Chains A and B, each alone.
Chain A
Amino acid sequence: MKNLYKIIIIAVVFILSIFILLLIVRPVLIRSGSHIAQLTEEKAKNITLNSELDNYVSARDDYYLINAKYQKLNMELPEKSDLSILTNELYEIARYTIVDIENISFDEKEIDEDEIRKTPVKEIKIDIVLRGSYYEILNYINTMEIMPRLIKIEDVVIQTSGGDYDNLLAFIIAKTYFVNKYYK
């Protein structure tokens, strides 16, 4: 074969090789690089998701237990003021402890606009005036303290009325709470 033909073949093959490298190999390499990066990302995401999933699965497994706890907590600290239920409970306790309620009043504490998002609960002040013997009043206060709804008794004044020790007059100031829906 003449040298000239050989040179032409060399040139053609060389140019062809360069074209293959530039037009096929290079794009494939770039694509593979991006695939590797994506794959690394997806692998990391997969690990994170799996560990998240494990946590959530354990939360799901405990759902009934947590739900029971939540229901109990909801009774202690309801989502709404539920004053009708509370009033009924206070009268029921009075009936059970044989005291006479003379007066009940409720007063919701106002929260400043700046504080409304920072305060998790709203407060209701309860004033109760009741009549009964010392141990009946004690029993009433005790039942209030252990009732399902959270009630904090702050002040108690017990007085005799006309020297009748079976008919004492008690003034109770207590506080109860409910969830502040504006709390963030």
Chain B
Amino acid sequence: MTTKLINLLPKEEKKRDIRSIVINVFMVLVLIMFLATILLTFFLFDIDNLLSSRLSDYEGTNIKVQDQVNKLKVYSEFRKNTDDKSGIIEDLKENELYWSRVLYDIGKLMPEDAYAISFDAMGSQLYSYIEDYKEGDVDEGRQVISFVIHGQAANYMDVLKLSIELKKINNIEAVWIENITRTVVQGIDLEIVSFSISTYWDLDNFTGDIDKKTNTQDEDILDEEISDI
């Protein structure tokens, strides 16, 4: 049979059991900590579940969007191919010569008493010059021949008229009379002149665009360098 001691001393006289108090405090603290741990566990599980569901939502959406992107990528690549091709064609067409216009102008400008025996247009020389210019491989003051006309006229005045008129043709800078030779037409005993005229391109009209393009490219490179800094 257990006995229990009853302390009947007044409160002021009673001895305080400090160890018991400390243990009680510890026990309360540990219990609070335990409860907090349990609550934290539930809370974390809840958050984790929420995160998991959000993540799977995002993953699901992204898979769908990626699928759409893959399907639509073809259109974008097609647009890029078209733009690339357009750029290539633009480059090829750059400084293209239209000889029909020159021939039309010559036909219109030819004096009444003069006619051409031969016409020799040399566009390939201009195209080579432009290629050289792009590579920076041209001599200062170089002239590029445009076309040469050999013909006959009633007199030298007609040749001079023609040489003046030829200057009116677009992109022609210089007209050079190579020779004027007196000729007698056999049989009818008619005196005429044979002539030969060369014309030269105004090269600034062709290189201006290239310079502009180069300057723009240089400015772009400079802008990129500045933005990098």
A residues whose Cβ falls under 8 Å from a Cβ of B: 3, 6-7, 9-10, 13-14, 16-17, 20-21, 24-25, 28-29, 31-32, 35-36, 38-39, 42-43, 45-46, 49-50, 52-53, 55-57, 59-60, 62-63, 66-67, 69-70, 73-74, 76-77, 120-121, 134-135, 137-139, 141-142, 145, 150, 152-160, 165, 173, 177, 179
Contacts and interface: CB of A to CB of B under 8 A. Distances in A.
B62 A46 contact: yes
Nearest to B91: A120
List the 5 closest A-B pairs by CB distance, nearest first.
A56-B72, A142-B100, A42-B58, A35-B51, A59-B75
B117 A159 contact: yes
A30 B154 CA distance: 104
A25 B122 contact: no
A45 to B, nearest CB: 6
**Residue among B66, B79, B89 with the highest chain A CB neighbour number at 10 A:** B79
Given A53-B69, A59-B75, 12 more contacts: A10-B27, A21-B37, A49-B62, A59-B79, A66-B78, A69-B86, A141-B103, A150-B93, A152-B123, A152-B127, A156-B119, A156-B123
Contacts of B93: 150
A30 to B, nearest CB: 10
A158 to B, nearest CB: 4
Interface stretch (B7-15, B42-50, B134-142, B156-164): B42-50
B76 A154 contact: no
B65 A157 contact: no
A9 B34 CA distance: 12
Nearest to A176: B92
B99 A156 contact: yes
A31 B48 contact: yes
Contacts of B179: none
A82 to B, nearest CB: 15
27 contacts: A14-B33, A20-B41, A28-B41, A32-B48, A32-B51, A38-B55, A39-B51, A42-B58, A43-B58, A46-B65, A53-B65, A53-B72, A63-B75, A66-B82, A69-B82, A70-B82, A134-B107, A135-B107, A138-B103, A139-B100, A150-B89, A150-B92, A152-B96, A155-B124, A157-B120, A160-B117, A173-B124
Nearest to A73: B85
B54 interface: yes
A9 B27 contact: yes
- Kindly state the interface size class of chain B when it binds its partner: 35 or more
A10 B81 contact: no
B37 A20 contact: yes
Given A42-B62, A57-B72, A165 B115 contact: yes
Interface in B14-36: 19-20, 23-24, 26-27, 30-31, 33-34
Nearest to A25: B41
Contacts of A142: 100, 104
Contact of B88 (A39, A120, A156): A120
Contacts of B38: 20
A155 B48 CA distance: 78
Nearest to B115: A165
B206 to A, nearest CB: 14
Nearest to B127: A154
A20 B82 CA distance: 64
Most buried by B among A38, A63, A138, A156: A156
Contacts of B19: 3
A17 B36 CA distance: 9
B167 interface: no
